[in-house]
Chains A and B, each alone.
Chain A
Amino acid sequence: GENVEQHPSTLSVQEGDSAVIKCTYSDSASNYFPWYKQELGKGPQLIIDIRSNVGEKKDQRIAVTLNKTAKHFSLHITETQPEDSAVYFCAARRYGGATNKLIFGTGTLLAVQP
């Protein structure tokens, strides 16, 4: 089955710097890759996603890149702000197979220092 590895587990950056979180997946048939943000005391929320037919997607200060050959995808946050501090989860999913569900990474705790 699918396995998703996420690094780093913790990341501390200064306000205004960029942050990058990386994930690798094992199932080459996976074709959907979302990122969720979990703020303290709340459930995770979808912030951006990408499908396997594109290599990059941007939404204001956040972007996701996908390298299908290497089976890895990354979240990029530019000009970080204190409100970006949260736990971030990547996930992967394959459609059409017997296991049609999201597999999550282990999470990255991002701390943005003011």
Chain B
Amino acid sequence: DVKVTQSSRYLVKRTGEKVFLECVQDMDHENMFWYRQDPGLGLRLIYFSYDVKMKEKGDIPEGYSVSREKKERFSLILESASTNQTSMYLCASSLSTATNEKLFFGSGTQLSVL
């Protein structure tokens, strides 16, 4: 089975800190995604990547950046954390957007910004 691993289950940071959320997948998937999950708002796409060193903005990219230096790893960066970025962050990967749409999600990182 595909495994998507997020480095931290819970994270507490201070306002203004630079925050790194790490995600690793072990099935050689081309595509990786970062979603944010908030009650009543569902899953919203922050950024995604179709290949190494490639990235595209999702629906809510403001305040975030990403890095994909290796195929298996996709990092989400909060340059200067703010309290409105307190949320559950979910990483996902998929084999291909054209023929196999199934997303495999990690267990999530609950980030609290104080």
Contacts and interface: CB of A to CB of B under 8 A. Distances in A.
Nearest to B88: A43
Interface residues on B, range: 20 to 34
B90 A43 contact: yes
A43 B107 contact: yes
What's the dominant secondary structure at chain A's contact region?
loop
A49 B101 contact: yes
A66 B82 CA distance: 41
Nearest to A46: B102
B101 A93 contact: yes
Interface in A80-114: 89, 93, 95, 100-102, 104-107
B42 A41 contact: no
A107 B42 contact: yes
B43 A44 contact: yes
B78 interface: no
